[in-house]
């Protein structure tokens, strides 16, 4: 059974405080803290109680650099195929010293059983649980969606021992923030409809 860690923020303060962190200290997140994050992840809602998730923890800096080098050109090629107008946003990906994982010491891969209904929804709900728990515990996280295409390549799947019946859904870096986390701006909720009343017309 999960032992709830002592934190200073309530749930609403944590939601407001969570940010995507892209600068990290050299300090490595220990296995006990990672276990707590995974315990939080598996408390997420799951369709039909399937719990289709599995997790891969990568804390090998050399391997992370190798994965970064593999993932960057694959992602850039996909961007070019989809739209030529967006490539300028990812010019940094062409730089040899750019690390797609922002030099974080830890990469968590939330994987899902490919054949399970609603597997992606379940895994993303688990990801949000994990990221909120990390924030409340003083850790930073960032989803690295640009790495996703690389995780379907046989060579990368072999490097990470990803089982054949699992697919990577959410790659998340975790670490101790090394920058000032400022409040990000969000638009007000866009309410497309607000339907109320006891009677409905068909």
Say which CATH number the domain at 163 has: 3.40.109.10
Helices (H) and strands (E) in the chain, counts: 5, 4
What's the CA dihedral at 73, 127, 155, 24 to 10 degrees? 60
pLDDT of residue 87: 54
199: confidence class by pLDDT, cuts 50, 70, 90 = low
Asked, for residue 188, whether it belongs to a domain, the answer is: no
Asked, for residue 164, whether it belongs to a domain, the answer is: yes
pLDDT of residue 31: 96
Asked, for residue 34, whether it belongs to a domain, the answer is: yes
Cα–Cα dist 118/28, whole Å: 33
Q: Supply the range of the domain harboring residue 137.
A: 11-175
Average pLDDT (143-153) is 97
Q: How many domains is the chain built from?
A: 1
Asked, for residue 163, whether it belongs to a domain, the answer is: yes
pLDDT of residue 60: 98
- Does residue 26 sit in helix, strand or coil? coil
Average pLDDT (36-47) is 97
Residue ranges of the alpha helices (H) in 18-86? 31-41, 61-82
201: confidence class by pLDDT, cuts 50, 70, 90 = low
Asked, for residue 2, whether it belongs to a domain, the answer is: no
How does 151-187 read in b/e, with b if 16+ C-beta sit within 10 Å? beeeebbebbebeeebbbbbbbbbbbbbeeeeeeeee
Distance of CA 81 to the CA centre of its chain: 24
């Amino acid at each position: 059974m999960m032992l709830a860690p002592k934190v200073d923020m309530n749930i609403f303060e944590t939601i407001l405080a969570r940010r995507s962190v892209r600068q990290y200290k050299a300090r490595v997140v220990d296995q006990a803290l990672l276990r707590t994050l995974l315990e939080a992840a598996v408390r997420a809602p799951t369709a039909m109680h399937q719990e289709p998730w599995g997790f891969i923890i990568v804390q090998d800096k050399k391997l992370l650099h190798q994965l970064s080098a593999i993932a960057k050109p694959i992602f850039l090629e996909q961007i070019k195929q989809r739209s030529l107008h967006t490539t300028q946003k990812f010019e940094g990906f062409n730089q040899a010293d750019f690390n797609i994982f922002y030099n974080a010491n830890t990469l968590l891969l939330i994987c899902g059983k490919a054949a399970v209904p609603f597997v992606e929804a379940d895994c993303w709900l688990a990801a949000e649980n994990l990221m909120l728990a990390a924030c409340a515990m003083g850790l930073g996280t960032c989803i690295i969606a640009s790495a996703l295409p690389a995780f379907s390549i046989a060579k990368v799947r072999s490097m990470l021992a990803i089982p054949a019946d699992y697919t990577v859904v959410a790659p998340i870096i975790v670490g101790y923030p090394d920058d000032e986390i400022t409040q990000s701006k969000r638009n007000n909720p866009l309410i497309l409809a607000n339907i109320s009343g006891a009677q409905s017309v068909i």
